[in-house]
Chains A and B, each alone.
Chain A
């Protein structure tokens, strides 16, 4: 893309962002003025008005940007690609013959059967692409457990035998410093000269060959693009929690992704996976800083590296496009516990942005993005302040019923507008999403329009009741971060896991207690002011006031039930076609093939495989033997150390030495051959 073309889209992007911000600000100002008018009319002190408005504006600005954004999102989603002259896909061209793309999958104690199945499905799908030989798979393992490493090695050999024309490289790091970031750096150091692009995947990612090809060709045709991020759709997993998440993400992400694309264009997001990256640019500009420990911020490299890398690459002058036209898939957590664990990692990572944004060289646009990404996690605190101040507001109404009635009657239009806006903000999203699926004739992918509407209504009710759960948990996470509680960056659970009651209570026990306390306070403190005399004056029953608290208190008290119930497999909901998502109705080849292959891999690479099995297996020995380096000096040294030991008696370290030394590998196999 020439510099004038870049200037063109950048100018358009600036205009769009400016327009979005102005409209959001107008909306927030309108709402803020309405609220401020009420506060002034009620004679509140400035000490109440100012913090209330600050919280109100902070909360509603984020909401307003989304409400405004989705309207532009639906416009962008229905605009044909041909009419979108800024889309870099138009410049996609075939890869030159010497261009290689690495498809990399970093793994750490992952289920290698699922990983292998995805690789095989993608390898098979890639055969339909003309330049499939220019795509090489890399499995970059950071696993520590020798038995899991044994399973990984065994599975990779199986894949190599099944697909000998596909290049697949397995690398296991001896030392897993800096976790995933270190793993990627290791890849960059070793392999970057050979590869022009790398397609970054997660262990739960699956990308269709068409998307892989399109991403690579888009990069090839646009020299100034640093990253192309594919659209993420959630697939597989069948607990109720997963089905709801899949449905809501399918119905909202299409418009949401187009909204993002419309506003940010070449300054878009990178989510750390399902994205293709220009390797040399990444190697040159994305060296992450090592931070010193300071206050609640831990030492080391930023945990959530994706946004930082995008900021570094964007600041170096490269474009980052998130293209909703390119489809890709990932799995999702199956219950609240796994989701919160992931959220906690993201939260800790996002808080690091507050330090990273002070790095020199990061452009203001990216600084703002890093800042807003970090403060998103502070929102629950605003939520609590908002709740507290609103409760004082209700008490005030009960204490001054006559004044309240006069104000409500006199300024009915402001009151009406606020109620209208509340309903509009809830309903408008649904209307937009349903319009999108109607216009694109995709309603059959959601079980039909009526089922889509019913599912969406259920989702809205569900969201209202689980919001307190998120608010409580995110507040807890924020406190954990503030007191520098160490984060365990473990492996992510990706199985369909139904939770036990004990697990549900261990997560939500304190929320139940808090809910009961709140219930007591609401009933015995706030509503103690609601006397028959007040009711007579206001002419409003208790229920309209209670509605404000019912979802909050019910959400908290019923949280163990919600957590437990949503982690189960509900056949009735499935049979009734509620929460149907497109990939259930019309699964992409790679998704359905991955599901088939997972079952096959469970048979050929059972979880019982360990180091002893590996060393005794004639099938594996001969396939692995030739890849091992001869290390005579190491052999001499270690032979003395392990003299007289059986395979079972070897320590983990010794097993790793055997696994990496040709002579020792042969010796132990010959001694233990079956």
Chain B
């Protein structure tokens, strides 16, 4: 495979597969086969996803308006018969 022979191509390929990972060429030194590529990406996909999740939910809870107990609120608003 051409990407395994050319380290720049391999770097570019892994960077596309794992866009959120800060890669260095040294991370890819041990990758010598297509199976290694698959193992490496699999490992990082899980780790990165969890990290992203934390970021998203922190953002959501700091900015978003929360639905309060609208039912109670609604009941309070009524002018009773």
Chain A residues with a Cβ under 8 A of chain B? 75, 78-83, 89, 124-125, 127-128, 160-165, 208-210, 214, 325, 327, 439-442, 588-589, 593, 617-619, 621-623, 625-626, 670, 673-674
Q: A439-B78, A441-B77, A589-B64 are in contact. Are A163 and B13 (CB under 8 A)?
A: no
Closest to A82 in B: B75
Closest to A210 in B: B67
In the assembled complex, the Cα of A125 lies from the Cα of B3 at a distance in Å of: 43
A128 contacts B3, CB within 8 Å?
no
Q: A440-B78, A619-B16, A622-B45 are in contact. Are A81 and B67 (CB under 8 A)?
A: no
Q: A589-B64, A619-B19 are in contact. Are A325 and B56 (CB under 8 A)?
A: no
* Majority DSSP secondary structure for residues of A touching B: helix
Contacts of A621 in B (CB 8 A): 17
B7 at the interface (CB under 8 A from A): no
B67 contacts A80, CB within 8 Å?
no
A164 contacts B64, CB within 8 Å?
no
Distance of B61 from chain A, by nearest CB (Å):
8
Known interface pairs A79-B78, A621-B17; 16 further A-B residue pairs with C-beta atoms within 8 A, sorted by A's residue number: A82-B75, A124-B57, A124-B60, A125-B67, A128-B67, A161-B45, A161-B48, A164-B53, A209-B67, A210-B67, A210-B69, A210-B71, A589-B66, A589-B67, A619-B17, A622-B45
Which 4 pairs between the two chains have the least Cβ-Cβ distance?
A618-B17, A622-B41, A164-B49, A618-B16
Closest to A623 in B: B45
Contacts of B79 in A (CB 8 A): 78, 439-440
B34 contacts A674, CB within 8 Å?
no
B71 contacts A78, CB within 8 Å?
no
In the assembled complex, the Cα of A617 lies from the Cα of B60 at a distance in Å of: 29
B interface residues, how many (CB within 8 angstroms): 36
B13 contacts A673, CB within 8 Å?
yes
Contacts of A674 in B (CB 8 A): 13, 16
Among A80, A124, A442, A673, the residue within 8 A (CB) of B64 is A124
Encoded as 1 (CB less than 8 Å from any A CB) or 0, chain B from 4 to 46 comes to 0000000001101111000000000000001000100110010
A163 contacts B53, CB within 8 Å?
yes
Contacts of A626 in B (CB 8 A): 42
B77 contacts A440, CB within 8 Å?
yes
A–B Cβ pairs within 8 angstroms, 15 of them: A78-B80, A80-B75, A83-B80, A124-B60, A161-B48, A164-B49, A164-B53, A209-B67, A210-B67, A440-B74, A440-B79, A589-B65, A622-B42, A623-B45, A625-B38
Distance of B3 from chain A, by nearest CB (Å):
7
B65 contacts A80, CB within 8 Å?
no
Q: A619-B19, A622-B45 are in contact. Are A162 and B81 (CB under 8 A)?
A: no
B62 at the interface (CB under 8 A from A): no
In the assembled complex, the Cα of A165 lies from the Cα of B54 at a distance in Å of: 10
Closest to A124 in B: B60
How many A-B contacts at CB < 8 Å in the complex? 90
A162 contacts B53, CB within 8 Å?
yes
Closest to A621 in B: B17
Contacts of A625 in B (CB 8 A): 38
Q: A79-B81, A164-B50 are in contact. Are A127 and B71 (CB under 8 A)?
A: no
In the assembled complex, the Cα of A617 lies from the Cα of B18 at a distance in Å of: 11
Contacts of B70 in A (CB 8 A): 210, 327
A75 contacts B81, CB within 8 Å?
yes
Contacts of B80 in A (CB 8 A): 78-80, 83
Chain B residues with a Cβ under 8 A of chain A? 1, 3, 13-14, 16-19, 34, 38, 41-42, 45, 48-50, 52-53, 56-57, 60-61, 64-67, 69-71, 74-75, 77-81
Among A441, A588, A670, A673, max chain B CB count under 10 A is at A673
Closest to B51 in A: A164
Among A161, A440, A593, the residue within 8 A (CB) of B49 is A161
A81 contacts B75, CB within 8 Å?
yes
Distance of B73 from chain A, by nearest CB (Å):
11
Contacts of A210 in B (CB 8 A): 67, 69-71
B74 contacts A325, CB within 8 Å?
yes
Contacts of A208 in B (CB 8 A): 67
A165 contacts B53, CB within 8 Å?
yes
B71 contacts A214, CB within 8 Å?
yes
Contacts of A441 in B (CB 8 A): 77
A622 contacts B17, CB within 8 Å?
yes
Distance of B46 from chain A, by nearest CB (Å):
8
Contacts of B53 in A (CB 8 A): 162-165
Contacts of B67 in A (CB 8 A): 125, 128, 208-210, 588-589
In the assembled complex, the Cα of A163 lies from the Cα of B78 at a distance in Å of: 39
In the assembled complex, the Cα of A458 lies from the Cα of B64 at a distance in Å of: 36
In the assembled complex, the Cα of A162 lies from the Cα of B60 at a distance in Å of: 12
Among A162, A442, A589, the residue within 8 A (CB) of B52 is A162
Distance of B23 from chain A, by nearest CB (Å):
13
Contacts of A327 in B (CB 8 A): 70
Contacts of B1 in A (CB 8 A): 670
Distance of A55 from chain B, by nearest CB (Å):
38
Contacts of B50 in A (CB 8 A): 164
B3 contacts A673, CB within 8 Å?
yes
Contacts of A617 in B (CB 8 A): 16
Closest to B70 in A: A210
In the assembled complex, the Cα of A83 lies from the Cα of B81 at a distance in Å of: 11
Distance of B36 from chain A, by nearest CB (Å):
13
In the assembled complex, the Cα of A127 lies from the Cα of B54 at a distance in Å of: 12
Among A208, A593, A617, A619, max chain B CB count under 10 A is at A619
Contacts of B3 in A (CB 8 A): 673
Q: A78-B81, A81-B75, A327-B70 are in contact. Are A127 and B42 (CB under 8 A)?
A: no
Distance of A258 from chain B, by nearest CB (Å):
12
Distance of A216 from chain B, by nearest CB (Å):
15
Closest to A326 in B: B71
Distance of B78 from chain A, by nearest CB (Å):
6
Contacts of A89 in B (CB 8 A): 71
In the assembled complex, the Cα of A266 lies from the Cα of B48 at a distance in Å of: 48
B74 contacts A163, CB within 8 Å?
no
Distance of B65 from chain A, by nearest CB (Å):
6
In the assembled complex, the Cα of A124 lies from the Cα of B67 at a distance in Å of: 12
In the assembled complex, the Cα of A619 lies from the Cα of B49 at a distance in Å of: 13
In the assembled complex, the Cα of A626 lies from the Cα of B42 at a distance in Å of: 9
Contacts of A162 in B (CB 8 A): 52-53, 56
In the assembled complex, the Cα of A588 lies from the Cα of B67 at a distance in Å of: 7
Contacts of B78 in A (CB 8 A): 78-80, 439-440
Contacts of A128 in B (CB 8 A): 66-67
Distance of B51 from chain A, by nearest CB (Å):
9
In the assembled complex, the Cα of A625 lies from the Cα of B39 at a distance in Å of: 11
Distance of A71 from chain B, by nearest CB (Å):
13
